[in-house]
A and B are shown apart, each in its own frame.
Chain A
Amino acid sequence: MALFSLCLLALMVLAVVVGPFFWKVAINDIDFSARMTTPSMAHPMGTDDLGQDILARILYGGRISIAVGLAAMTMAIFVGVLIGSIAGMSKGWVDTALMWLTDLFLSLPQLPLLLLIIYLFRDSLKAMFGVEMGVFILIVLVIGGFRWMPVARLVRAQFFSLREKEFVEAARALGASQSRQVIRHILPNSLGPVIVAGTIDVAAAIIAESTLSFLGLGFPPDIPTWGRILFDSKDYLDIAPHWALFPGLAIFLTVLTINFVGDGLRDALDPRKVL
């Protein structure tokens, strides 16, 4: 199941990456004679209310959604590993304080805060990096900033058990500095669960980005991410259901396959199998 999902996921990523080179319809090609047509040869996924080709928009939006997912995952893992390893190596109050911070972040209501931060900071970042880049940076930072906690907990737990192991003690006895112990010996051995958590994080970040766009607070209307296409289509459900179905299916399939791959990875990396 995991392998099949991996193939399907790879296929979708490939389609999104190279698809626009083969399907050369512009995403903002307005054609009022073909408004909200059902799928046909000219428009395999139909058109929206301005006659724009939905396939082209989905391919373009997929790039953004997947880029956001990967970037937010990288950010979450980076922060998580950093905080987790600092907490895991230091005993006493540093560890306590960092874990209190982690627990605090875990009990924050994430979506309202996400919306609040985007509302407050959107305009200044847009002015700084341009519309597209500004929103991208903001969304990646915010989604990544709210997903590091599980990773930090995992890394800390791993560090606690690994740093007492014989091979780390041997390294310490040979005079390895603390940073060398961490980077060469402890960190590589604690990455298994982190990879699994990272996979799941990509899916969660894609859902978070689509949710924001679906609420009309993510990317601006001229950048068609999957959530944004769904948001635009929801008022025309009765006349053009295909418009909502294709982006929804794209999100669903991506998230489902990523989750299956993560599950497969967990089974492969976890020697303690149930039954």
Chain B
Amino acid sequence: MGPYILRRLLIALPSLLGISVVLFTVLALAPGDPFQELALNPNVPAEVKQALREKFGLDDPVWQRYFRWLWAMLHGDWGFSFISRVDVDTLIWQRVPVTLAVIGMSQLLALCIALPVGIIAAVKPYSWFDRIASSLAFIGFSLPTFFTGLLLILVFSIKLDWLPFVFRSDIPETGWAWWWANFKQAIMPITVLGLFQGASWMRYVRSAVLDVVRLDYVTTARSKGLAERVVIVKHVVRNALIPVVTLVALQMPAVFGGAIVTEQIFRIPGIGSLLIDAILRNDTPVIMAVTFVFSCLVIFFNLIADLLYGWLDPRISFR
């Protein structure tokens, strides 16, 4: 397992570099100059402008600027937020835990829905349960997250007044009351994201289990006299999960996209809403850094998916 993990890490590095190249290209191709305002200011003499440009290396060749930028990003020197007047990295590290908590909980919820429902639907395909579950799944992933979010707010916050619709990070209560208040305000965002993901995963699980459940080794396991439960859990699901893990890893970018929308609807102070605020206020260093953090998170979760393969199918890690 050790060499396998190392190999996967080495494969993840080039993709991180590739993403950083894409990010930097977008930035470099973009019209506009950070010194535009300065250039238009008649009070600043031309020599000063030139000296400033040289100091920040704006006239260097592109590849030099890229490596300087990459080096700074890797060092944790992410610049200074124009709007909030603090370093970008402190701003981001304040927000990352909230985002990860909401995404993590919603993925757990999605798994808790998708796995059992998908397996039961595939074990008895085209039964009533399967038909209802499949139709619900279709509805689930056709409903955009921003619409479900608004619907939930409309029903549970406005009509029924059960749940708060603005996420607060400064809850006055302590102890159990604090947990309870946090739980109450997190229910809706987690449900929105979890149901959306769960619906599309359920279809993956169903088709993956359907592919496996008719293979000969499953029949063998049944004819050995194993209990149906053991056959499904140990023989079918473990093999069916391999393609599911691939598809889930491929969906990671979409998950983060959904998180941005949900954070915006429920005003969760995570990095997604930070990104939107920064864009609306033209806060370039924050925008770049948040996009970079999102890229790193996506690659990190892809890495986890790779490690899961190794655990699900030990043959993979020996290749």
Contacts and interface: CB of A to CB of B under 8 A. Distances in A.
Interface of A: 100, 103-104, 106-113, 115-117, 119-121, 123-124, 203, 207, 210-211, 214-217, 227, 230, 234, 237-238, 241, 244, 248, 251-252, 255-256, 259-260, 263, 274-275
B146 A113 contact: no
Contacts of B244: none
Interface residues of B, number: 53
A222 to B, nearest CB: 18
B279 A115 contact: yes
Given A104-B19, A244-B150, A251-B144, A120 B32 contact: yes
Interface stretch (B71-79, B168-176, B295-303): B295-303
Given A110-B253, A207-B144, A248-B151, A215 B18 contact: no
A210 B147 CA distance: 10
A108 B22 contact: yes
Contacts of B147: 230, 248, 251-252
Which residue among B30, B153, B154, B253 has the maximum number of chain A CB atoms within 10 Å of its CB? B253
A247 to B, nearest CB: 9
Contact of B146 (A115, A230, A256): A230
A116 B302 CA distance: 22
Classify the secondary structure of B's interface with A: helix
A50 B256 CA distance: 35
Given A217-B279, A244-B154, A211 B261 contact: yes
B19 A117 contact: no
B142 A116 contact: no
The 5 A-B pairs with the shortest beta carbon distances in the complex, nearest first, are: A111-B257, A120-B30, A256-B142, A248-B147, A109-B294
B144 A111 contact: no
Contact of B150 (A115, A123, A237): A237
B86 interface: no
Given A112-B275, A230-B146, A252-B147, A107 B253 contact: yes
5 contacts: A109-B298, A110-B254, A120-B27, A215-B264, A255-B143
A120 B298 contact: no
Nearest to A149: B250
Contact of A237 (B26, B30, B154, B290): B154
Nearest to B141: A259
